[in-house]
Chains A and B, each alone.
Chain A
Amino acid sequence: GAVVSQHPSRVICKSGTSVKIECRSLDFQATTMFWYRQFPKQSLMLMATSNEGSKATYEQGVEKDKFLINHASLTLSTLTVTSAHPEDSSFYICSAKLNSEAFFGQGTRLTVV
């Protein structure tokens, strides 16, 4: 199947700093990618839909100025958590769809201290 690579897998940052997470489709082009957030022992919640060459579409309740999404090419989307706070600590997962199947990255464990 198709491969989606997410980097980094783990990151620890200080409160107030920004963190960038990359999501790459390795063997296919993805005009649309998706960013999810997963709290411990909870399900995945869609944060935003990343569209290549245009603005991302954010779900209700997600702050677009805090979670900056850039989809500059057909194989790369980035999520930047700006001015991170401990409550932003979570597991972030991206996905891209190919032929009606969604392929997920390995996820990024973000810890804000």
Chain B
Amino acid sequence: AQSVTQLDSHVSVSEGTPVLLRCNYSSSYSPSLFWYVQHPNKGLQLLLKYTSAATLVKGINGFEAEFKKSETSFHLTKPSAHMSDAAEYFCVVSDGGLSSYKLIFGSGTRLLVRP
């Protein structure tokens, strides 16, 4: 069975400093992995996705994530945080790979950005 663990429930950074949101996954085969962002009382927006191509994935708004099979990790990073990055971030694995429609969500990490 697939599962996703987000190691931090809250991350607080100062504006202009790097962001690291950690995610580990468990999968019996090559997974498809995603990062979504959710602003308060809003739907979810896809930041980036890994689908067994390049291990370093670049997304929108300056975010990127690196798929490390040996560490079963898919951490999300950004070189310099902006106030507008404050939101909830979800690491997600697709159950069954690209052909499957089920998404399994991590518990979420709330990113706080201090001025």
Q: Which chain A residues have a beta carbon within 8 Å of chain B's beta carbons?
A: 1, 4, 6, 32, 34, 42-46, 49, 91, 93, 95, 97, 100-107, 109
Contact = CB atoms under 8 A, between A and B. Distances in A.
A102 B43 contact: no
Contact of A104 (B44, B101, B104, B108): B44
B90 A44 contact: yes
B107 A101 contact: no
Interface of B: 32, 34, 36, 41-46, 49, 51, 90, 98, 101-108
A1 B104 CA distance: 22
A6 B41 CA distance: 13
7 contacts: A44-B44, A46-B103, A97-B101, A104-B43, A104-B45, A106-B43, A107-B41
Instruction: Decide if the interface of chain A is mainly helix, strand, loop or mixed.
Output: strand
Given A6-B43, A104-B43, A49 B101 contact: yes
B98 A100 contact: yes
Contact of B49 (A42, A101, A109): A101
A42 to B, nearest CB: 7
Contact of B42 (A43, A102, A107): A107
A15 B13 CA distance: 42
A86 B24 CA distance: 35
Contacts of B103: 34, 46, 95, 102
A43 B98 contact: no
B94 to A, nearest CB: 8
A46 B105 CA distance: 9
Q: What 3 A-B pairs are tightest by C-beta distance, nearest first?
A: A104-B43, A104-B44, A106-B43
A46 B43 contact: no
A23 B104 CA distance: 20
